[in-house]
Structure 1
Amino acid sequence: MASMTHKMSVKWNKNVYDIQFDPTLGVDALLQTIQDETGVPKERAKLMPKTKKMWKGVLNAKYDLTTLPPPPLVALLMGSAELPVVPKVKTQFIEDMAESEVAAAGAVLPAGLLNLGNTCYMNSTLQCIRYAEDFKGGLDNGTSNQFNQALSSTFKSLDSSINAVQPGSFVMAMRSMFPQFGEMSQRGGGHAQQDAEEFLASLFMSTSQVSVPPSLAGDGVTNLPEACFGLRMEETLTCPEAGDSEPPVVKHDNAFKMICNIQGGHGQKVQISHLGAGLELGLNSEVEKHSEVLGRNAVWNKVSRVDRLPKYLCVQMMRFYWKATPDSADHQGVKCKMLREVKFGETLDMFEYCSDKLKGILKVPRDKKAKEEEEEAERKLNGDSKGEDTEMKDTEMKDADNAEDEEMKRALAMSMEAAAEPTGACAGPGLSPDFMGIYELYGVVCHKGRDSSSGHYTAWIRQAVGSDKWWSFDDEQVCEQDTQAVLQLNGGGDWHMSYLNFYRAKE
């Protein structure tokens, strides 16, 4: 029988450890795993719940871990480490390591992807999806078709190589399953350039056959891309012409990205210069719909709000559009690109774009954080900060012991209250109850050129959570960048400009 793997976030001091464990092995095995990660001996470890409907008080050896509620699970660890944690892997020199070991250790620049005939749109998007770890790992949860199998294989090749990877098998599978990506250029010279967003949509369509990993289960999600990138949108339609006589129409729909509408230029009333304004514009629109009260079609106002957030968030900058050219020879039109500068930051706060229900969920940790900051400011104002010197070392130790006792009392009280109260709601699958709706930018797909049928795509990836260092992927060419360079990808000229922004939930 296959083992069941659970994930628990264990908070100890100022650190958070993601602990993988098998609940069927019992409490002792869980505490041993925690000891290996933190250095806190299991004999003196006191583990208390921060997620409701877990155990009461301090975890005891007789507790049945198989009765734990669905993830996310969060616990508080009390106890001190007697000795520093011994490294699990001995020091190795690069010249003594295999290529896959060097790649896994991050000792060199990560591998890029060879361009196999205008496949830069594919290469750049794959690099951004590659660093959505839950999605990449979840592909092994059932790869039912050739596209998904080739996708998983390509990611594994990238992670184990220090040289550029040739994605030949994946390109063949992609063009077989989605023939539009095999279209030849009318200008001659091989395959046509494609739209990175259309490729991303096709990738999500294919991988929707992959089931949800246990760590992201819940909240009604049914497949891998929905569990990782899926948003649930609440749409409210009202008919101003009918007034209060026509009740609002409220419905829910799923989406895999947010839209940043871009407007601006000479003579236009709306000038979008920042991501936030573009998102708000994209959530408000007008539609023509039948009114029962009026007995005919009328213009309705449509207001969309996010009702469920994902662990990974994609935002599309609506830079490409179709311009009709009735006076041209073919009387059709041309593909154009909006070059307007639209600034974005390192983080994105989604609170203002959420439904009232979701705002209520996010408000709990946000209020808690605000209260903690207020109390900390008061302590500093009163000269009672944690960094204040004391007169004697033994007094410091005594104060630390007292503080630990007080923390334990508070944690015990909290765990008892949690057992009595209903389960706290989360903003979405895989998100902690402490998630405040704030995301960190981790990847950008950029386009350089004048329209979607030409130009060149590149990817920019943050090296680690909170890091100021980035990599830029220009097909097989990889180099280091910094955050300042990434924030310059906001448009306004012929330089690389953001088209797809990828974010991950900030804990």
Structure 2
Amino acid sequence: MDLPAGLTNLGNTCYMNATVQCLHAVPELRAALDKYRVDNDDAGSMSSAMTSAMKFLFKQMERGSTVTPIILLQTLHRASPQFSQVGENGTYRQQDANECWSELLKMLQQKIPAFNDKANEGNNVKKYNSFIEQYFGGSFEVKMSCTEAEDEEPTTARENFLQLSCFISTEVKYMHSGLKSKMKEQLVKRSETLGRDANYIRTSLISRLPAYLTIQFVRFQYKGKEGINAKVLKDIKFPLEFDAFELCTPELQNKLCPMRAKFKEAEDKNLESNIKAIATEDKSSTTEMGKDVETEDYSFENDPGSNNSGFYTLQAVLTHKGRSSSSGHYVGWVKHTGDIWFKFDDDVVTSVTTEDILRLSGGGDWHCAYVLLYGPKLLKKQCN
């Protein structure tokens, strides 16, 4: 098996290497960067330099041998000086990989244009300013209700996100419950109706699902005495396939139903054909793996870059091993095909299995999932 390119550690830069490997797992991002051209009027901006550095690095990685990401690192240091901090021994200090992830996306968001299909321009197609907003960005519908004044009209607002947070508490054992725990919360704020502070319930439901859903496990808590972001080692199970339906608004749920029905129909057909194949020992009738097949569109026709089913497949995992975000070691794990994944430990790349990925849920000093990247679950087109 040919192994993909690893990235050289330039002195505690595993946080950046792991982030880059996870983002490289998105084919649409690779294609968008490949098309990117520097605007001469903006060639000197940091966001332009960062986007060009990412494009150059992705191109180098396609060659399949170890790459030294010095240009991206230097650009990151200029754009965000906090990443260039040096320790007492003269080497770069370890940094928080999720902060690096957010910074890279913020820079790319400013420069990579959205994909707008000119053929559908007049068909109420949603317009976006950037590719990142289009393919990585979702939105919440946030409702605020006062529990002490029934006659006070609830307020509704829209909030955009580039990642969801999975909060870890004593009760949380699964990613899904960690996500839900903060989608309905109580808070105190001033009520104009009552003329005083009052109790409110803040309910957040997803009104737009992106094609690529990023989920951060809130594993680090600041401890003032030690002055560090201490790690929560608790075991939190995460799924290889994630269904976001329950987290969505009723309006979005209704829109997701047609594609979900197609998935159900396809699963029923596959089950039936596999049962027949087993009964007749006809191996050619079972699902063909590893071959290129035509798939259904995973986005709504009027919203390219969205997810039209609510179904996701885990594409990449960024893990941390250690006791604080500013120490330890970060590694990227990326899905290849079937049961095979690649482990990117800087310049050392090895193949692992799905079983190894499921062991990344935490609970000890082994690698713990910190950031998960889910991509759209693809549906094979059915033959008529």
Q: 2:8 aligns with which of 108, 111, 114?
A: 114
* TM-score in terms of structure 2 length: 0.83
**Aligned equivalents of 1:506, 1:362: Cα separation in 2:** 13
| Other-structure match for 1:208 | 109
1:232 aligns with 2:139: yes
Secondary structure of the equivalent of 1:447? Answer: strand
Q: Which whole-Å CA distance do the structure 2 matches of 1:447 and 1:335 have between them? A: 13
Q: Which residue of 2 aligns with 1:130?
A: 24
8 Å CA contact 1:358, 1:427 repeated in 2 = no
**Inter-CA distance 134–480: structure 2 relative to 1 (3 Å threshold):** same
- 1:80 corresponds in structure 2 to none
Q: Percent identity?
A: 33
Which whole-Å CA distance do the structure 2 matches of 1:447 and 1:376 have between them? Answer: 38
Q: Secondary structure at the match of 2:359?
A: coil
Q: Contact between 2:245 and 2:310, CA under 8 Å: does it hold in 1?
A: yes
**Could you state the TM-score of these two structures normalised by the residue count of structure 1?**
0.64
Asked whether 1:191 is paired with 2:92, we answer yes
Indicate the SS of the match to 2:360. Answer: coil
SS in 2 for 1:193: coil
- Alignment partners' CA distance in 2, 1:316 and 1:179: 23
Q: Give the conservation status (yes or no) of the 8 Å contact 1:361–1:426.
A: no
- 1:301 partner SS: strand
Quickly say closer, same or farther: Cα 1:372–1:110, change in 2 above 3 A.
Answer: closer
SS in 2 for 1:245: coil
Equivalent residue number for residue 50 of structure 2: 147
Higher deviation after alignment, 298-307 or 149-158:
298-307
Please say if 1:448 is aligned against 2:321: yes
Structure 2 match to 1:253: 159
After superposition, the CA RMSD in angstroms is 2.6
Following TM superposition, by how much is the alpha carbon of 1:298 offset from its aligned partner in structure 2, in angstroms? 2.3
Q: Is contact 2:115-2:304 (8 Å) kept?
A: no
Question: Alpha-carbon deviation of 1:386?
Answer: 9.3
Q: Deviations over 1:411-441 (max 9, x none)?
A: xxxxxxxxxxxxx955952357xx4211000
Matches within 5 A, 1:307-326: 307-325=207-225
Distance 2:221 2:376 in 1: 30
Aligned residue in 2 for 1:410: none
Q: CA deviation at 1:475?
A: 0.3
Shift of 1:364: 2.2
Aligned-pair CA distance for 1:126 = 0.3
* Other structure's SS at 2:56 match: helix
Render the CA deviation track for 1:326-363: whole Å, top value 9, x for unaligned: xx7xxxx4321110000112100000001111101112
Q: 1:297 aligns to what?
A: 197
Is 1:164 aligned to 2:66, yes or no?
yes
Give, in whole Å, the separation in 1 of the partners of 2:210 and 2:159.
Answer: 14
Counterparts of 2:309 and 2:101 in 1: how far apart (Å)?
Answer: 27
Structure 2 match to 1:502? 373
Q: Once the two structures are superposed, what CA deviation does each residue of 1:182-240 show, in whole Å capped at 9, x if it has no partner?
A: 1122x534111111111111111111122112369942422021111101111111111
Match of 2:182 among 265, 277, 282: 282
- In the other structure, the counterpart of 1:341 is 235
Pick from 77, 80, 88: which aligns with 1:175?
77
For 1:372 and 1:151, how far apart are their aligned partners in 2?
38
Deviations 1:219-273 (A, max 9, x none): 242202111110111111111122x211111100110011110011xxxxxx111
User: Over residues 66-90 of structure 1, what are the superposed CA-to-partner deviations in whole Å (9 max), with x where a residue is unaligned?
Assistant: xxxxxxxxxxxxxxxxxxxxxxxxx
Q: What is residue 430 of structure 1 aligned with on the other side?
A: 305
SS of residue in 1 equivalent to 2:142: strand
* Residue pairs, 1:65-104, within 5 angstroms: none
Do the aligned partners of residues 426 and 319 (structure 1) sit closer, same or farther apart at CA in structure 2, a change above 3 Å counting? farther
User: Using a 3 Å threshold, how does the CA distance of structure 1 residues 386 and 449 change in structure 2: closer, same or farther?
Assistant: closer
Greater RCO, CA 8 A, separation 6+: 2
Deviation per CA, 1:89-127: give whole Å up to 9, x if none. xxxxxxxxxxxxxxxxxx621010001111100000100
Which residue of 1 is the match for residue 350 of structure 2? 479
Give yes or no for contact 1:119–1:193 (8 Å, CA) kept in 2: yes
Please give the alpha-carbon distance, in whole angstroms, between the structure 2 residues aligned to 1:275 and 1:440. 14
- Residue aligned with 2:181, SS: helix
Matching residue of 2:148: 241
Shift in alpha-carbon separation, 1:118–1:372, aligned structure 2, 3 A: closer
Count of residue pairs brought into register by the alignment: 344
Distance 1:427 1:230 in 2: 16
Q: Which residues in structure 2 correspond to 1:341-360 (within 5 Å)?
A: 341-360=235-254
| Equivalent-residue separation in structure 2 for 1:460 and 1:376 (angstroms) | 29
Does the 8 Å contact 1:274/1:344 carry over to 2? Answer: yes
